[in-house]
Amino acid sequence: MTNYKPKNRLTPQAYIDGILKGDRVILSRAITIIESNLESDKILAKEIIQAILPTSGNSIRIGVTGVPGVGKSTFIEVFGKHLISKGHKVAILSIDPSSQRSKGSILGDKTRMEALGQLENAYIRPSASGDTLGGVANKTGETMLLCEAAGYDVVLIETVGVGQSETAVHGMTDFFLLLMLAGAGDELQGIKKGIMEMADMVVINKADGDNIRMSEMAKRQYQNALHIFPQSESGWTPVVSTASSTKNTGIDSVWDTILEFKKLVDKNGYFNENRKRQQIQWMYNNINEELKHMFYGSKNISSKLSTLEKDIIASKISPVKAAQQIIEKFKASFQ
């Protein structure tokens, strides 16, 4: 199965030229190759990425998180349009390890961000599907590079905000934006302290109508809460603001804050330092994923694993001994 080579693939150069020209159809086809698990596509993907690498990286990468219903897609739609009106090209990606493309992922639903998706300078791509968060995150990272090479100078990465995916998005972005609601406790919103600590900006969303007063109160509460966190390495003090995506208020100040952040971290060197650190981490993530793939993808290993499972159930072997045996078998396959 993995030796199968699809017929409709272009030459590597055709993908590279198309991406560099900003051709959205070619960009989408190249991303499909990145997301593919076929061996022939993996080789092709590596070649494309290697070639576009020097033209990637020239964007501000923004992570957007918050619990489902907080208004992420509505915010991104309005925010994206605002950026495009200022002359930017905006790519919107997402990390949702639970998504399966065929069932419709968080961004896959056609009604989400429909108006934004129709704009010439917007590119929306639903989450890659995959078994592991690490695998999905790696693919999203590579997709981001392709988008940058295609000229998108703002990349928004949305996360579902209910698990580990925030950490993955934080690990691949320059600025981390947390959307919150007034009147709901932190626990209610499923936001852990660690996620608050990662935020460069907290936006109290849906600050409209009867909700304005509560939102201002929440803003002050979060400002106080953020004060007790240790100073972040970037030298940046997180900003708390209010916004309404439906009334289009407070949206421009989010972008102004991001620009201020960028100015600071460019000046103090944190921007580049952080990007370099992320690249190192990315290498380790790739190693981890590749090792897992090699191990669990091996026929020898999987048949031995099912035998060992039965042995453990029958109390013939301890789990630790079983793990040791299978690792020895894996090591022996390289000798």
Which residues are near ligand GDP by CB under 6 A?
Answer: 66, 68-74, 205-206, 208, 244-246
Taking CB atoms, the residue at the shortest distance from ligand GDP is 71
In the complex, the smallest distance separating the C-beta of residue 111 from ligand GDP, rounded to whole angstroms, is 9
CB 312 within 8 A of CB 319: yes
In the complex, the smallest distance separating the C-beta of residue 195 from ligand GDP, rounded to whole angstroms, is 15
Residue closer to ligand GDP (CB basis): 9 or 247: 247
> What phi, psi does 246 have (nearest 5°)?
-75, -30
In the complex, the smallest distance separating the C-beta of residue 212 from ligand GDP, rounded to whole angstroms, is 11
In the complex, the smallest distance separating the C-beta of residue 268 from ligand GDP, rounded to whole angstroms, is 33
Residue closer to ligand GDP (CB basis): 74 or 98: 74
What's the number of CA atoms in the CB half-sphere (13 Å) around residue 302? Answer: 7
In the complex, the smallest distance separating the C-beta of residue 74 from ligand GDP, rounded to whole angstroms, is 3
d(CA 62, CA 258): 9
In the complex, the smallest distance separating the C-beta of residue 209 from ligand GDP, rounded to whole angstroms, is 6
Residue closer to ligand GDP (CB basis): 155 or 251: 251
d(CA 301, CA 307): 10
In the complex, the smallest distance separating the C-beta of residue 167 from ligand GDP, rounded to whole angstroms, is 19
CB 25 within 8 A of CB 11: no
In the complex, the smallest distance separating the C-beta of residue 205 from ligand GDP, rounded to whole angstroms, is 5
